[in-house]
Structure 1
Amino acid sequence: MLNFAIFFITLMSAILGSSPAFSSVKIDLCSDRNPPVHLLGNVQLKALFTYCPKLDHVSIGRDSTHNLFAGQWYDRKKPTLGFYSQTDEGLNIALGGSVSTVNMSSKKGLLPLLPGSSGFYIEFLARIDSDSMDHWPALWLNPIEHNAKEDDRSFSYGRLYQHWMELDVDEGGFQSGMFGTVIEWQGNHPDYRKSQNKHPVAKDLDRTVFHTFSAYYDPVKGSVTWWVDGELHNKVPAPVIGSKYNYYFTMGAQTHGKNEPYKLIVKRVRAFVPM
C-alpha cells in the first residue's frame, strides 16, 4: 500500500505540474512561442509569430503598416470598421465582417506569410458568442498569389488557367464539431472546379467556449492534419500545387443563409514552420 501511495502521489504531481491550470508559472498567451506538444514527436518547429488581434490593428486602407485588413480583394463593397469591436477576450468580428493579413490590393501587412514550400502549422484560439447551425465562423488560408492579377496562373494549361490550394482550418455550421477542408481549385476564371477531402464525423463542440483549431500542412508528405484542442481530428492528402504558394489567413463571421446575428471572437493566432 505504501508503494502504491508513493506512486499515486508522484503520478498526480507530474500531471498537475504539467497542467497550465495548476502550474505556478503563468504563460502569457500573446507571447507564448512554445511549439505545440502534439507535433513535437515528429516535427521540429520554430515560431513564425504569436499574435493576439486587436481592434486598432485593423485597417480599411491599402497600406502595409497594419496586421489586419478589413474586407477581401474580391469584395465589391467598401470596407468599414463597423463590424469589429474589442473586448478583454479578443477581437470581435460581427456577422458580415472578415479580416485578413493582406490588404485589398493583395499586399501583405506586418504579419509574415506562411510558406507552402516548407510547410507550416497554424492555430486559432476562438469562439462565437451564440451557437446556431446558421453561424458560419470561418478560419482559413489562401495563397497571396491568388489575387485580382491572377498570379496563380498555370500557363502550361492555358493563358487564363488558374490553379491553387485553399486550406480551411475550421468552418462552423456544416456539422456540430470541427470541420476542416483542403480544397484544390483550378480552371479558367470564373469557371473553376474544385476537389476536396471527405470529412469524418466530429465530436460535438460547444462553440460558445474557446477552442484551439489547428492545422499542419506538410508538402514533403503531401498531407494536411487538423486538431481541435490538441486532439487529432483528421489527416488527408494535400494537392501538390500547395507547395508553390505563400499563404495569408482570414477570419470571418459568415452565415449559412438565415443571417442570424453573432460575433466571432478571436483571442490568439500562432504559426510555426519546420526548423
Structure 2
Amino acid sequence: MSLVDLARTWKLLVVVGDLLLAQAADACDDGPMPIGAAELQYTKVAFDFCPHTSDIALDGKGATARLYNETWWDKAIPAPSLYSESTDGSLAISLGGVLASVPRAMVGGSLPLLSGDRGFFVEFETSLSDNDPDHFSAVWLMPIEHNQRQEDSYPPDPRGFERWIEIDVDESGFAPGPMGTTLSWSGIWPKYERVRSNPNLYNEKIDRTVRHRFAAGFNPEKLTVTFWYDDKIQYVASGPSVPEIARKQNFYIILDATTHKLGHPYTLYIHRIRAYVPE
C-alpha cells in the first residue's frame, strides 16, 4: 500500500471514529417506556435524546440544530458561557439561559413539533445545582402558532384576537415539590386573559439536586393534560384551562433557568428529553 493510500485510510478511520464518538455521546441509556406514555397508548418515539452543547445553535440559526438559545418574545443574546456540560455530560444551563426547539423565526427545527390533534406525551429528566427556593427553572411547551404572525388567531374571532394553550410541565420555586400547570390564554395583545389549572401548591418537598422526571400527556379526545412526576400522576388538568384550540396547535419545547426575585446563581441540568405520540 502506498503512502497516499495509507494517508487516505487513516483519514477514513479518523472520520469513522469521530462519528462513532459523536453517536456514543448523543446516546441515552436504554430504559423502559414511561408509564404515562404507555397508559395513553402513545408508543411511537417522536424524539429521545440526552442534550449536549453541540445541539445548540447559539446564533439562532442552523437547520439541523435541536435547540436554539432564544424565544421569539425575548431579546436574543448568544451568551455561550450560559451553556456548558456537567461532569457526567449532561447539558448545564446557568441562570439566565433559555433554550427552545424552534428558532426565533418560529419555523420548525430538527425536532418534530408535537401535534395537539394527535396527542402527545413529553418527559424531561432534570436536576438543579441546589435547592434554593428562589430558583425558577422551567421545562414547558408552547404552540408554534403563537408567534409574531399571530397564527393563533382563528375565525370567527376579530382580527388580532389570539387563543393558545401553554403547558408548563414543571416549574420550581412555586411549590415544595413538582408543579405542572396548563394555562388557556386569549385576547388582543397586550390585554390577554388566562385561565389556569389548579396544581397542588402544598405538596411534599423534593430534593431537586437529584434527577427527577417530569412529564405531561395531552389527550385531545378527552381534552385533558395529565402531569406525572417520576412515573406517578400529580393530577389531571381539564375544563377551561385545557381549551379545544389545543387540538389545532403544534408544540415545541422550552428550557429556562430564571429567578423568582433574588437572582441567586444556579445551574439547571437537562439529562434527557423524550416524547411519544400515537402510532
Q: TM-score, normalised by structure 2?
A: 0.85
From 49, 52, 60, give the equivalent of 1:51. 49
Report the AA paired with residue 54 of structure 2: D
Counterpart for residue 118 of structure 1: 118
Counterpart for residue 94 of structure 1: 94
Report the AA paired with residue 95 of structure 2: L
Return 84-93 or 138-147, whichever deviates more: 84-93
CA distance in 1 between partners of 2:93 and 2:40 (Å)? 35
Return 192-201 or 216-225, whichever deviates more: 192-201
Residues 63-74 of structure 1: pairs in structure 2 closer than 5 A: 63-74=62-73
CA distance in 2 between partners of 1:52 and 1:80 (Å)? 21
Report the AA paired with residue 272 of structure 2: R
Residues 33-182 of structure 1: pairs in structure 2 closer than 5 A: 34-41=32-39, 43-60=41-58, 61-87=60-86, 88-182=88-182
Residues 125-274 of structure 1: pairs in structure 2 closer than 5 A: 125-200=125-200, 201-237=202-238, 238-274=242-278
CA distance in 2 between partners of 1:105 and 1:33 (Å)? 35
CA distance in 2 between partners of 1:187 and 1:33 (Å)? 43
Could you list the runs of 4 or more consecutive aligned residues of structure 1 that deviate by over 4 angstroms after TM superposition?
none
CA distance in 2 between partners of 1:253 and 1:155 (Å)? 36
CA distance in 1 between partners of 2:169 and 2:246 (Å)? 15
The answer as to whether partners of 1:31 and 1:50 remain within 8 angstroms in 2 is no
CA distance in 2 between partners of 1:250 and 1:113 (Å)? 12
User: Which whole-Å deviations, capped at 9, do the CAs of 1:19-46 have from their partners, x for residues lacking one?
Assistant: xxxxxxxxx9726475323443452421
CA distance in 1 between partners of 2:138 and 2:70 (Å)? 14
Counterpart for residue 24 of structure 1: none
User: Which whole-Å deviations, capped at 9, do the CAs of 1:146-201 have from their partners, x for residues lacking one?
Assistant: 11111111231210100001000000000110100000010001111111101123
Show structure 2 runs of 5+ residues with no match: 1-25
What is the number of equivalent residue pairs in this alignment? 248
Return 151-160 or 210-219, whichever deviates more: 151-160
Report the AA paired with residue 128 of structure 1: L
In 2 relative to 1, CA 33–154 (structure 1 residues): closer, same or farther, beyond 3 Å? Answer: farther
Q: 3-state SS of the aligned residue for 2:245?
A: helix
The answer as to whether partners of 1:31 and 1:51 remain within 8 angstroms in 2 is no
Deviation at 1:97, TM superposition (A): 0.4
For the aligned residue pairs, the C-alpha RMSD in angstroms reads 1.7
CA distance in 2 between partners of 1:153 and 1:165 (Å)? 13
In 2 relative to 1, CA 159–57 (structure 1 residues): closer, same or farther, beyond 3 Å? Answer: same
Q: TM-score, normalised by structure 1?
A: 0.86
In 2 relative to 1, CA 48–161 (structure 1 residues): closer, same or farther, beyond 3 Å? Answer: same
User: Which whole-Å deviations, capped at 9, do the CAs of 1:100-144 have from their partners, x for residues lacking one?
Assistant: 100111122211111110110000010000111100010000001
The answer as to whether partners of 1:155 and 1:161 remain within 8 angstroms in 2 is no
Counterpart for residue 20 of structure 2: none
The answer as to whether partners of 2:36 and 2:217 remain within 8 angstroms in 1 is no
Deviation at 1:78, TM superposition (A): 3.0
CA distance in 1 between partners of 2:147 and 2:42 (Å)? 32
CA distance in 2 between partners of 1:78 and 1:254 (Å)? 15
Sequence identity percentage: 36
CA distance in 1 between partners of 2:131 and 2:259 (Å)? 12
In 2 relative to 1, CA 162–269 (structure 1 residues): closer, same or farther, beyond 3 Å? Answer: same
Deviation at 1:203, TM superposition (A): 2.2
